[in-house]
Structure 1
Amino acid sequence: MTLALTSLTISHFRSHKVGRMSLDARPVALYGANGAGKTNVLEAVSLFTPGRGLRRASAEDMTRRPEALGWKITGVLQSLHQVHEIDIWSEQGAARQVKIDGKAAAQTALGRIARVLWLVPAMDRLWIEGAEGRRRFLDRMTLSFFPSHAEASLAYERAMRERNRLLKDGVQDAAWYGALENQMAQSGAAIDASRRETLALLADAQRNAATAFPTADLTLTNAEGVVPSTEDDLRTALAENRSRDMAAGRSLIGPHRADLSGAYSAKAIPAKDCSTGEQKALLVSLILANARALSRDFGAPPLLLLDEVAAHLDANRRAALYDEIGALEAQAWMTGTGPELFETLGPRAQYIHVTETDGMSHISTPR
Structure 2
Amino acid sequence: MTGLLIQSLGLSHFRSHKRARLALDGRPLAIHGPNGAGKTNILEAVSMLSPGRGMRRASVEDLSRRPEALGWKITAALTSLGRAHEVETLSENAAPRQVRIDGKAAPQIALGRIARILWLIPSMDRLWIEGAEGRRRFLDRATLSFEPGHAEAVLAYEKAMRDRNRLLKDQVNDAHWYRALEAQMAEAGAKIHRNRAQSLGRLAQAQDQAETAFPIAKLTLTHPDPTVEAPDDPDALQAALAAGRTRDMAAGRTLAGPHRADLEAEFAAKGVAARDCSTGEQKALLVSLVLANGRALAEDFGASPILLLDEVAAHLDTHRRAALYDEICALGTQAFLTGTGPELFSDLGARAQWMSVYEHDQTSHIELQDPA
Q: TM-score, normalised by structure 1?
A: 0.99
Q: Which amino acid aligns with 2:56?
A: R
Q: What per-residue deviation string (whole Å, max 9, x for no partner) do you get for residues 88-112 of structure 1?
A: 1110111110100000011111010
Q: Which amino acid aligns with 1:180?
A: L
Which segments of 5 or more consecutive residues in structure 1 lack a partner in the other structure?
Answer: none
Whole-Å Cα distance in 2 between the matches of residues 13 and 208 of structure 1?
40
Q: Which residue of 2 aligns with 1:322?
A: 325
Secondary structure class of the residue paired with 2:253: coil
Q: Which residue of 2 aligns with 1:63?
A: 64
Are residues 1:312 and 2:318 paired? no
Whole-Å Cα distance in 1 between the matches of residues 315 and 350 of structure 2?
23
Q: State whether residues 75 and 86 of structure 2, in contact with CA within 8 Å, keep that contact through their aligned partners in structure 1.
A: yes
Q: Which residue of 2 aligns with 1:182?
A: 183
Describe how 1:130-169 pairs up with structure 2 within 5 A.
130-169=131-170
Describe how 1:33-112 pairs up with structure 2 within 5 A.
33-112=34-113
Q: Which residue of 2 aligns with 1:340?
A: 343
Whole-Å Cα distance in 2 between the matches of residues 338 and 80 of structure 1?
34
Whole-Å Cα distance in 1 between the matches of residues 49 and 67 of structure 2?
25
Q: State whether residues 164 and 181 of structure 2, in contact with CA within 8 Å, keep that contact through their aligned partners in structure 1.
A: yes
Farther-moved stretch of structure 1 (116-125 vs 335-344) = 335-344
List, as ranges, runs of 4+ consecutive aligned residues in structure 1 with deviation greater than 6 Å: none
Q: State whether residues 263 and 271 of structure 1, in contact with CA within 8 Å, keep that contact through their aligned partners in structure 2.
A: yes
- Deviation for aligned residue 1:208: 3.2
Describe how 1:1-367 pairs up with structure 2 within 5 A.
1-225=2-226, 227=228, 228-229=230-231, 230-367=233-370
Secondary structure class of the residue paired with 1:285: helix
Whole-Å Cα distance in 1 between the matches of residues 246 and 318 of structure 2?
57
Q: What per-residue deviation string (whole Å, max 9, x for no partner) do you get for residues 28-79 of structure 1?
A: 1111111100000000000010000000000000000011110000000111
Q: Which amino acid aligns with 1:265?
A: A
Secondary structure class of the residue paired with 1:61: helix
Over 3 Å counting, the alpha-carbon distance change for 1:226 and 1:316 in structure 2 is farther
Q: Which amino acid aligns with 1:120?
A: I
Q: State whether residues 117 and 302 of structure 1, in contact with CA within 8 Å, keep that contact through their aligned partners in structure 2.
A: yes
Whole-Å Cα distance in 2 between the matches of residues 311 and 268 of structure 1?
24
Whole-Å Cα distance in 1 between the matches of residues 53 and 226 of structure 2?
30
Farther-moved stretch of structure 1 (146-155 vs 219-228) = 219-228
Q: State whether residues 141 and 290 of structure 1, in contact with CA within 8 Å, keep that contact through their aligned partners in structure 2.
A: yes
Whole-Å Cα distance in 1 between the matches of residues 11 and 335 of structure 2?
18
Q: State whether residues 37 and 364 of structure 2, in contact with CA within 8 Å, keep that contact through their aligned partners in structure 1.
A: yes
Whole-Å Cα distance in 1 between the matches of residues 307 and 226 of structure 2?
35
Q: State whether residues 6 and 76 of structure 1, in contact with CA within 8 Å, keep that contact through their aligned partners in structure 2.
A: yes
Q: Which amino acid aligns with 1:60?
A: E
Whole-Å Cα distance in 2 between the matches of residues 311 and 179 of structure 1?
49
After superposition, the CA RMSD in angstroms is: 0.8
Q: State whether residues 2 and 25 of structure 1, in contact with CA within 8 Å, keep that contact through their aligned partners in structure 2.
A: no
Whole-Å Cα distance in 1 between the matches of residues 314 and 180 of structure 2?
51
Whole-Å Cα distance in 2 between the matches of residues 101 and 193 of structure 1?
33
Whole-Å Cα distance in 2 between the matches of residues 366 and 96 of structure 1?
33
Whole-Å Cα distance in 2 between the matches of residues 185 and 224 of structure 1?
15
Secondary structure class of the residue paired with 2:314: helix
Secondary structure class of the residue paired with 1:35: coil
- Deviation for aligned residue 1:226: 6.2
Q: Which amino acid aligns with 2:12?
A: S
Whole-Å Cα distance in 2 between the matches of residues 135 and 117 of structure 1?
15
Whole-Å Cα distance in 1 between the matches of residues 100 and 214 of structure 2?
39
Whole-Å Cα distance in 2 between the matches of residues 189 and 269 of structure 1?
30
Whole-Å Cα distance in 2 between the matches of residues 366 and 216 of structure 1?
37
Instruction: Report how many aligned residue pairs link the two structures.
Output: 367
Whole-Å Cα distance in 1 between the matches of residues 227 and 31 of structure 2?
45
The percentage of counterpart residues that share the same residue type is 66
Whole-Å Cα distance in 1 between the matches of residues 169 and 240 of structure 2?
19
Whole-Å Cα distance in 1 between the matches of residues 342 and 275 of structure 2?
33
Q: State whether residues 292 and 328 of structure 1, in contact with CA within 8 Å, keep that contact through their aligned partners in structure 2.
A: yes
Q: What per-residue deviation string (whole Å, max 9, x for no partner) do you get for residues 197-217 of structure 1?
A: 000000000003110000000
Whole-Å Cα distance in 2 between the matches of residues 69 and 143 of structure 1?
31
Over 3 Å counting, the alpha-carbon distance change for 1:348 and 1:226 in structure 2 is farther
Which segments of 5 or more consecutive residues in structure 2 lack a partner in the other structure?
Answer: none
Q: What per-residue deviation string (whole Å, max 9, x for no partner) do you get for residues 272-321 of structure 1?
A: 00000000000000000000000000001100000000233111111100
